[in-house]
Amino acid sequence: MAQICVPICESTFDAMKETALRADRFADLIELRLDGLTAMELKQIGGKLEQLSSTLVRPVIMTLRPIEQGGGASLNLSERAEFFTRMQSAAMFDIELDLATKLMSNGGDVEWSKIICSHHDFHRVPDDLDRIYERIAATPARILKVAVHANDIVDCVPVFNLLERAQTEGREMIGIAMGMPGLPTRILGPAFGGYLTYGSIDDGRQTASGQPTATHLSELYRIGSINSQTRVTGLVGLPVSHSISPHIHNAAFASCGVNAVFIPLEVHDLRAFFRRMVNPATREIPWNLQGLSVTAPHKSAVIDMLDSVDAAAREIGAVNTVVIEGNKLLGYNTDASGFLRALKDKFGSLKGANCAIIGAGGASRAALWGLRSEGASTTLFARDLNKASAVANSFASEVKPLKNARFDGFDVVVNATPLGTHGALSGETAAVAEQLAGTRLAYDMVYNPSETLFLREARLAGCETLGGMTMLVNQAVEQFRLWTGIDAPFEVMKQAATTALMNG
């Protein structure tokens, strides 16, 4: 069973107690990060800690991490040893290798069955990680722990391999790769034999980089249901932390009773990722990877790493979906079909329709391909006419400058730019009401927020409107079908997407 430990780091004991009592209602274990307290409070805390530990229902791990191991305690080794000796009967203890070595040399009475011996590296994966593991494993500690920082997703590989090694050697182990690229170790670690994983009590209260909330681990990723047979899928991109795709696909897997999970995969070196973690012939970890969703900036580069690519993806020049079938990697583009399905449901037949697309990036290529396949005529509007001409020529489209453009006479105007997206671009629009007057339908491919400035301007101009949410869900529906072979629950996926956006 996967165990979620909620780490609690507060500046006062009273705040720690209050948070611990709240975590006690849902956590599997609670870690009290005592190094967040002041040195004065640490000296006076003994009885209070024992009382708190006995009050909590969940098992307690106490941690007093020194500054050089990522903690806040300025205590020297002897002071940490003295504190441990006073408090070891109250709970399990997570201690560093230097303290474990000192306790072994002291020859005192240590209950090693309650000890986690750990090593942390907050900058990288050390080259001698196997040797570090062996030094920790040489202690009498019951549980071994290695937490390193992942700078790319392939840094997860040695952590997974250590978890496998520990399992083979009959040792209990916690293996974590910190940072967003290390997220797979936090979600899949227990399925590789990890003793526990860490989840923060609330968003914004993480005690290490890349740490998800306990709620996301249990409800979004359904970590309690993940095992060695679980099909793994995920979003490959940079960045990926903003994506709501995990909410959409994991809701669908749960609704259909499919033993699968969808994980954000922050990938810097795409070629190394495919060689070491994806390609069945060369991958270095035994995960049950079944498929990938691909987003910026990897949609074009991924093509060279696949065994075959469907016609839409080839002509658009972008793959957003990878299916692993046996030893073959198959590429598809579901953006175009998702774009079209949403538009046709709203507009009807597009044959002969006069359509304008604003923007000359990857999204516009998918839109142009889809509209051409339906027999629509297209005009591409962009600021950079040289870039736009190259795109337009690929799809037999006209090209015009966006500056001072007017869209009266067009049946459909599509915003295929990121203007209006939540964040720094939210106050911008690709066109204003005066430009859109006389257009029948304005279609914004941006989905977050659901109500963009472009759509508000279109309504002022008297246009029908269509937001990007339906397109997002439609392309995910097709991905789900490609990965599982079954029909996806559209309404479940749409509700999950809507809820995720509402919750920020």
299 as an active site residue: the answer is yes
The CB density around residue 45, as the number of other CB atoms within 10 Å, is 19
Q: Give the integer Cα–Cα distance in Å for 293 and 297.
A: 12
Instruction: Please measure the distance between the N-terminal and C-terminal CA atoms of the chain and give it in whole angstroms.
Output: 30
As a residue count, the chain comes to 504
Rg (the chain; Cα; Å) = 27
Q: What is the DSSP letter of 274?
A: I
CB of 164 within 8 A of CB of 135? Answer: no
Distance CA 259, CA 352 (A): 44
The answer to whether 182 and 156 have CB atoms below 8 angstroms apart is yes
Q: Which two tokens stand for residue 83?
A: 């504190």
**Residue listed under structure tokens 């309690």:** 224
Sign of CA dihedral 202, 206, 209, 211: negative
Taking the mean position of all CA atoms in its chain, how far away is CA 417?
A: 24
- The four Cα atoms 338, 468, 493, 308 give a dihedral, to 10 degrees, of 30
State the Cα–Cα distance between residues 362 and 423, nearest whole angstrom: 20
Return the structure tokens found at 296. Answer: 């910026």
Residue 10: name the closest of 178, 207, 176, 147 by CA. Answer: 207
Of 125, 165, 173, nearest to 148 by C-alpha is 125
Catalytic residue among 114, 299, 351, 400: 299
Indicate which residues carry an active-site annotation. Answer: 299
